[in-house]
Amino acid sequence: MDAATAATFLAAGGASLFMAWAIGAGSSGSTPFAPAVGANAISVMRAGFFVGILGLLGATLQGANVTEAVGRDLVVGTTLSPVAAIVALSIAAGLVAFGVFTGYPIATAFTVTGAVVGAGLAMGGAPAWEKYYEILAVWTLTPFVGGGVAYGTAKLLRRESVPEAVATPVLAGLVGAILANVEFVLLGPPDVAESVAGTVASGTPGRLAITLLLAAVVAGVMALDMRSDVATGQRHFLLVLGGLVAFSAGGSQVGLALGPLLPLFDTADVSVPLVALLFGGGLGLLAGSWTAAPRMIKAIAQDYSSLGPRRSIAALIPSFAIAQTAILLGVPISFNEIIVSAVIGAGAAAGTGGVSGSKMGYTVLAWIGSLLGAGVLSFGLYTGLGGVL
């Protein structure tokens, strides 16, 4: 590798690590445990510590799908050049970092997607309409599905006719069923992810049997935990859900930092295993979570809604399910959008969600503005640099 190529990789790698830090400090580092913090189940600092560790694991074990999508599927007919990758990552990271330090949750997926598309179009690429339709469908449905499921779950847990010692284990069993079908890199053959159910059994009947078995085991463990003290059992369930969402955040968000780098390795005489790149990106997420996430954890947990354990559980269950669906589809998704919509839905179930209307209005505008602004800035900056370089 000559000096110019090495310098390019160094600059692109630095931009990617900055992006990973900004994501760890923002969406993936702050949102997963925010409902648990709001319910006083865990402190802000402990939440930041654990979300960093779990985000690193999720990035390494589940980050391939979204990384491939961001790096290769957002523009047709071209791949990002080193300069385009640096431009896209720098603009996206700058906008996300601005959100972190101002207290407004900029949607990371919107920002990175806009920046990558803007740079790709500036290079002469064509829009990947089919992928855009898929992404738009997920982004549009997320607040309605997440908020709706959170609202219904919170209503169920508040019903006096349904004992919490019954409802909570049933919900835990549902989470166990989802977990049985979550795909992990280490469970499949090389470069292929597989789920626990798929590894243990082959065929639909076998996978279904394993799924039901794991769901029953998880529900049984939850029931035993709640037998002695319902409140303690709920707290344990809430913390596990926060951990699962943090793990999922790492698997989804690392692709936003690493995806633009993939074309560089396609065109250069450099061979780096994808799992090694994912681990490096996960370290960037961890650094962001440990150094700056507490600020955003506080913003999400306290500024949007003060939730008790039941409503926090109701918010995290659909968040986990939506995140894993997006990872499976290879769709970049904002965890701010997932968690905030679920928190609002769960809070509305009590009629007093404590949600600031003006805060939410500014947040939605920030989400839309981050997508359009990142695209325009990336397109303009790359075009300007193209006239100079």
**pLDDT digits 0-9 by tens, 123-167:** 989 999 999 999 999 998 998 999 999 999 988 888 878 888 889
The arithmetic mean of pLDDT across residues 86-106, rounded, is 76
Tokens of 144: 């309605």
Top mean pLDDT of 273-277, 343-347, 375-379 is at 375-379
pLDDT for 292 beyond 80: no
Q: How far apart are CA 314 and CA 154, in angstroms?
A: 5
pLDDT for 252 beyond 80: yes
Distance between alpha carbon 75 and the CA centroid of its chain, in Å? 22
Neighbours of 93 (CB within 10 A): 25
Tokens of 295: 């600020």
To the nearest whole percent, how much of the chain has pLDDT over 70? 86
Tokens of 342: 């679920």
Cβ–Cβ < 8 Å for 339, 35: yes
The arithmetic mean of pLDDT across residues 1-29, rounded, is 75
Q: How far apart are CA 200 and CA 58, in angstroms?
A: 21
Question: Would you state the pLDDT for residue 304?
Answer: 46
Question: Would you state the pLDDT for residue 104?
Answer: 63
pLDDT by residue (tens digit) across 131-142? Answer: 999 999 999 899
| Band of pLDDT at residue 2, cut at 50, 70 and 90 | low
Question: Would you state the pLDDT for residue 152?
Answer: 92
What DSSP character marks residue 75? E
Question: Would you state the pLDDT for residue 305?
Answer: 47
Question: Would you state the pLDDT for residue 355?
Answer: 55
- Domain positions in the chain are 3-159+246-388
Question: Would you state the pLDDT for residue 100?
Answer: 64
Q: Which residues, including other chains, have CB under 8 Å from residue 132's CB and lie 6 or more apart?
A: none
pLDDT for 254 beyond 70: yes
Which has more confidence, 38 or 315? 315
The arithmetic mean of pLDDT across residues 275-302, rounded, is 79
| Band of pLDDT at residue 103, cut at 50, 70 and 90 | low
Question: Would you state the pLDDT for residue 29?
Answer: 59
Distance between alpha carbon 196 and the CA centroid of its chain, in Å? 21
Cβ–Cβ < 8 Å for 28, 11: no
pLDDT by residue (tens digit) across 38-55? Answer: 777 777 788 888 888 998
> How far is residue 37 from each of residues 76, 268, 315, 325, measured CA to CA in Å?
42, 45, 13, 25
The arithmetic mean of pLDDT across residues 99-116, rounded, is 79
Question: Would you state the pLDDT for residue 359?
Answer: 65
Question: Would you state the pLDDT for residue 353?
Answer: 52
| Band of pLDDT at residue 1, cut at 50, 70 and 90 | low
For the chain, list the strands marked E by DSSP: 75-76, 126-127, 183-184, 194-195
For 126, the 3-state DSSP assignment is strand
Question: Would you state the pLDDT for residue 191?
Answer: 65
Question: Would you state the pLDDT for residue 193?
Answer: 74
To the nearest whole percent, how much of the chain has pLDDT over 90? 26
Question: Would you state the pLDDT for residue 202?
Answer: 77
| Band of pLDDT at residue 267, cut at 50, 70 and 90 | low
Q: Name the least confident of 92-101, 132-141, 160-169, 322-331.
A: 92-101
Q: How far apart are CA 318 and CA 297, in angstroms?
A: 19
Q: Name the least confident of 82-86, 248-252, 371-375.
A: 82-86
Mean pLDDT of the chain: 83
If 0-12 CB within 10 Å is exposed, 13-18 middle and 19+ buried, where does residue 9 land? middle
